[in-house]
């Protein structure tokens, strides 16, 4: 397949997990991909996998200067941007009585503020036909014990897409949300644990945990012209977890 031939993509949180799964698929379909993340070792390993069609830029979505450096590199080296996958995120458990200002600030800074400025700063490089993909979550539409702050950030992301679809009216730029369910990523295993992750996957109608490659395939669809009549929407890649 070459649906993304000649396209330029940025994937935040691209060194591992769903971000890397999407980056692999983007490259397979012809795109050049910039991976953006905080851990240089993970970024280097990802670029080694992806080859000459990928480049890594280290930084945090919570730091405007880091985002400026990323987009300056994209502009200087590629001239513009066709695909933005705003995927970087974080989360940890805290029951209502255990939520701290630090927990709240960290989660909202990465998952909401980071998304806002990742997208805002990319817009000058994007034009007609460009696609913005935001990572949501099944938690954005479900109640999840001890996970209210993370869940609230993902509900916020969903509304950002709805509102931005209106803001972007007439530009030819589309924005959609990709919402994974239980997926085998490093972050998910760190937060939930192996046993709980497998148990969670077993509760889905499909009966298993998802693979980042499966989410990456849907990200490629949203990035391509195959989804040209989609904006402001949400696509669940969750094995039916939040659907039944």
What residues are labeled active site? 150, 154
User: Cα(6)–Cα(39) distance, rounded to whole angstroms?
Assistant: 27
- What are the structure tokens assigned to 223, written together? 């990035």
Nearest to 220 by CA among 18, 51, 50, 25: 25
**CB contact burial 68-80 (16+ within 10 A = b; e otherwise):** eebbeebeeebee
Residue with tokens 């939520």: 99
Bridge partner list, 33: 9, 54
Beta strands, E only, 81-231? 83-86, 131-135, 174-180
Cβ-contact 55, 34 below 8 angstroms: yes
Q: What is the dihedral of CA 129, 132, 137, 143, to 10 degrees?
A: -100
With a CB cutoff of 8 Å and minimum separation 6, the contacts of 37 are 12, 13, 14, 15, 16, 19, 43, 56, 58, 59, 88
d(CA 66, CA 235): 29
Beta carbons of 175 and 165 less than 8 angstroms apart: yes
């Amino acid at each position: 397949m070459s649906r993304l031939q000649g396209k330029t993509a940025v994937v935040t949180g691209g060194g591992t997990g769903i971000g890397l799964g999407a980056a692999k698929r983007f490259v397979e379909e012809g795109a050049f991909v910039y991976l953006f993340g905080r851990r240089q070792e993970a970024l280097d390993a990802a670029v080694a996998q992806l080859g000459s069609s990928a480049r890594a830029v280290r930084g945090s979505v919570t730091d405007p200067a880091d985002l400026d450096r990323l987009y300056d590199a994209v502009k200087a080296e590629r001239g513009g941007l066709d695909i933005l996958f705003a995927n970087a995120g974080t989360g940890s458990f805290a029951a209502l009585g255990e939520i701290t200002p630090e927990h709240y600030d960290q989660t909202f800074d990465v998952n909401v503020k980071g998304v806002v400025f990742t997208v805002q700063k990319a817009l000058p490089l994007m034009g007609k036909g460009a696609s913005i993909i935001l990572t949501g979550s099944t938690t954005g539409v479900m109640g999840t014990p001890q996970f209210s702050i993370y869940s609230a950030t993902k509900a916020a992301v969903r509304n950002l897409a709805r509102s931005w679809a209106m803001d972007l009216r007439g530009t030819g730029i589309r924005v959609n949300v990709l919402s994974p369910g239980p997926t085998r990523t490093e972050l998910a295993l760190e937060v939930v644990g192996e046993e709980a992750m497998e148990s969670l996957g077993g509760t889905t109608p499909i009966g298993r945990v998802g693979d980042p490659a499966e989410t990456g395939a849907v990200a490629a669809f949203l990035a391509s012209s195959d989804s040209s009549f989609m904006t402001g929407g949400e696509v669940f890649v969750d094995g039916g977890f939040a659907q039944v």
